[in-house]
Amino acid sequence: MCGIVGYVGPRQASDVLLGGLARLEYRGYDSAGVAVVSNGELDVTRRVGKLAALSAAVAETPVLGSTGIGHTRWATHGRPTEANAHPHVDCTGRIAVVHNGIIENYMQLREELAQNGHVLRSETDTETVAHLVESYYQGDLATAVRKTIKRLDGAYALSVVHLDEPNLIVAARKESPLIIGIGDGENIVASDIPAVLEYTREVLALSDGQVATVTASGVSVTDMEGNPVTPEMLHIDWDLAAAEKGGFEDFMLKEIHEQPKAIRETLLGRMDAKGQIQLSELQMTPEQVASIDRVFILACGTSFHAGLVAKTLIETWARIPVEVQTSSEFRYSDPIVDDETLVVAITQSGETADTLAGVREARLRGAKVIAITNVVGSRVTRESDGVIYTHAGPEIGVAATKTFTAQIAALNVLALKLAQAKGVMGTERVTALFEELSRIPETVEAILADLSAIDECAAEYTDVCSSLFLGRGIGVPIAMEGALKLKEISYIHAEAYPAGEMKHGPIALITPQVPVVVVATQGHTYEKVVSNIQEVRARGAEVIVVATHGDDEIGRHAEHVLYVPATAELLSAIPATIPLQVLSYRIAKLRGCNVDQPRNLAKSVTVE
Ligand code: F6R
């Protein structure tokens, strides 16, 4: 997804912009550019492809100046070309704009601008903003930006510079994240926190409809009418090292290894001395929690898979019916939710447009919405009634790993809380399960301590074109997540099915060239899973199983066995996930793929 950095201060702006954009690379992008106010000129450099191309262009023709804006673009309106890359300029070349989000009425605005004599040179929605600012500019950039944003439908985070006011950036946002890092004699605008951490830990978080005038010496914020407002300030604890690779080859591998910590920290303080699950974030009285009789979970992608795990947990432990829907379907489905429904929105980034739209829809219908997210201050936290944070730390790799297992940890806590509040499960059982859950980080450490079996297995399947992932019960979402990981980072086609469903169609795909990965950990359907394995083997498939330590028999039915330590059946989701993450990672690396930034993907999908 697009990234924004803006700088005003004593340093060379281009250095700060390129450095900041590099910190946002994880968001995914296909072109990049900077605009620097330099000796009475607005110097704009843009390149298609990775930042290295832009850095080389800037190095070749250095742009000197201490105010500037930069952008990494993930194409939405218009192809990833240099003409469509940001920053975009107005007709005079004196105004430059970078933008994240989507201007929904841009076609009408383009027509209007063209009729008024403006010449638009790109296919983007963003360029309309530069021309609108031009048309409203009468010597005060902030006023022109305020007038401009009143004309925009859709979502935006904007940063604008004007040659006539060379020492300032005007920034504005609606439904797209934008923060300002407050430095000492310098300020940095950014779409995401890692871009400013090198300079400051004090961050001003702009809210929807706010417009900031940013100079080296200060920031003033107004609403859309120009009335001064007091913005929200945050202190950020993350250090830069936390956002770097820490000795691992890739962010993804580092994040896979960070899972024990992420799960541990997510579970911290969740049970008191009396065996009561602590979840004050629900913002509900015990009576209200006890009266919940329906749960609706909204999420996309990997978070959706966490939602499916939660369905099994909540239905089994708390005996509350749970519906799980992908957010993009929910918002247009006339969903049956009301004030009796607890809606849980799962989104690691907290910025996924479809999930946010679902949250709004659910609240309009009277439901109470609890968000589960990893990002403090993210949009979902402002739009929900309560927030349960996962404490996974920043996840830079585009493929979700530690945020997924941290979500499952948080959802285990939620399910236990509901079971306890409903009186379906006694304190003794809740305590026993929570204690076992608290040992999962050690289990994950044990799996990560010896990856040799996974390495061996991966080496044999680097050239396959297609694969099937099977499971039953809690193993179904884990198979789905395993398939998603493999396809998104290695580009091998992978499909997941409930194992019992296979003979209703997918079995036709089985050949010796289509390996079948089966989640076959101990549980009440284990024997059934073994039968399904035999069915696929009878058709010539090679089988890779994830099985429980001590299950020596399973080796007779599989080419490869990836063992995980034993745990309660419903707690096996996290352990069973780990070998599948590592398997996908290793296969992708052997295929030479960029695991941290897979093609066509973005870390947070802030457009519909
Ligand atoms: C897959 C992945 C995506 C996200 C999805 C939802 O590895 O990362 O499928 O899970 O885009 O993102 P969030 O959780 O930020 O709403």
Average pLDDT over every residue of 16-30: 86
Query: Global pTM?
Result: 0.75
| Residue of 325, 352, 388, 390 to mutate, ligand 1, most atoms within 8 A of C-beta | 352
Please, which pLDDT band fits residue 135 given cuts at 50, 70 and 90?
A: very high
Residue 14 Cβ contacting ligand 1 at under 6 Å: no
Ligand 1 mean position, distance from CA 400 (Å): 6
The per-residue pLDDT for range 569-583, each reduced to its tens digit, is: 999 999 999 999 999
Pocket test residue of 303, 372, 380 for ligand 1, highest count of atoms within 8 A of CB: 303
Burial class (CB in 10 A: 0-12, 13-18, 19+), 105: middle
CATH no. of 447-590: 3.40.50.10490
- Region 100-118: what's the mean pLDDT? 92
Main-chain dihedrals φ then ψ at residue 108, nearest 5 degrees: -65, -40
Tokens of 563: 């063992």
The fold for domain 3-243 equals Glutamine Phosphoribosylpyrophosphate, subunit 1, domain 1 (3.60.20)
* Per-residue pLDDT at 339: 87
In this structure, the residue with its CA closest to atom 5 of ligand 1 is 301
- The pLDDT of residue 243 is 53
Q: Outline which parts of the chain fall under CATH 3.40.50.10490.
A: 254-438, 447-590
Look at residue 56 and tell me whether its pLDDT is greater than 80. Answer: yes
Which atom of ligand 1 is nearest the CA belonging to 602?
Answer: 11
Mean pLDDT on 476-482: 98
Instruction: Give the chain's end-to-end CA distance (angstroms, integer).
Output: 12
Looking at 3.40.50.10490, 3.90.1150.10, 3.40.449.10, 3.40.1350.10, the CATH number of the domain 254-438 comes to 3.40.50.10490
- pLDDT, tens only, 242-253: 555 656 889 999
On average, the pLDDT of the chain sits at 93
* Alpha carbon distance 316, 191 (integer Å): 41
587 and 490 Cβ atoms separated by less than 8 Å: yes
pLDDT tier for residue 163 given thresholds of 50, 70 and 90: very high
Element holding 8 (H helix, E strand): strand 3-8
* For residue 20, pLDDT beyond 70: yes
pLDDT at position 76 is 67
Percent of the chain past pLDDT 70, that is, above it, reads 98
Task: Give 181's contacts (C-beta < 8 A, 6+ positions apart).
Answer: 187, 188, 189, 190, 195, 196, 197, 199, 200, 202, 203
CA distance 262 to 412: 14
Task: Give the mean model confidence (pLDDT) for residues 393-397.
Answer: 84
Say what the pLDDT of residue 223 is: 97
Is 547's pLDDT higher than 80?
yes
Band (1; pLDDT cuts 50, 70, 90): low
Residue nearest to atom 4 of ligand 1 (CA): 301
Residue tagged active-site, from 174, 254, 311, 603? 603
Contact between 189 and 68 under an 8 Å Cβ cutoff? The reply is no
Ligand 1 center to residue 343 CA distance, Å?
18
Active site residue 245: no
Ligand 1 pocket test target in 256, 324, 349 with most atoms within 8 Å of CB = 349
The whole-angstrom separation of Cα 432 and Cα 448 is 25
- The pLDDT assigned to 253 comes to 96
Using DSSP, how many helices (H) and how many strands (E) does the chain show? 19, 24
Catalytic residue list contains 603: yes
pLDDT in tens, 338-365: 888 999 999 999 999 999 999 999 999 9
- Mean pLDDT across the stretch 473-490? 98
Q: Binning pLDDT at 50, 70 and 90, where does residue 239 land? A: low
Distance CA 383, CA 277 (A): 25
The CB of 259 under 6 Å from ligand 1? The reply is no
Average pLDDT (525-534) is 96
Q: What is the CA(371)–ligand 1 centre distance, in A?
A: 14
**pLDDT at residue 75, rounded to an integer:** 74
Indicate if ligand 1 lies below 6 Å from the C-beta of 604: yes
Cis geometry, peptide bond prior to residue 177 (ω within 30 degrees of 0)? no
Least confident segment among 63-72, 267-276, 296-305: 267-276
Instruction: State the Cα–Cα distance between residues 366 and 336, nearest whole angstrom.
Output: 11
How many Å lie between the centroid of ligand 1 and the Cα of residue 302?
5
Question: In the prediction, which pLDDT does 203 show?
Answer: 94
**pLDDT: is 444 or 155 the higher one?**
444
| Distance of CA 430 from the midpoint of ligand 1 (Å) | 30
Which residue's alpha carbon is at the smallest distance from atom 9 of ligand 1?
301
Q: Where in the chain is the domain with CATH 3.60.20.10?
A: 3-243
**Two structure tokens written together for 53:** 């191309």
Q: Is 300 in the pocket of ligand 1 (CB under 6 A)?
A: yes
- CB 392 near ligand 1, within 6 Å: no
Q: What is the mean pLDDT of the segment spanning 16-26?
A: 91
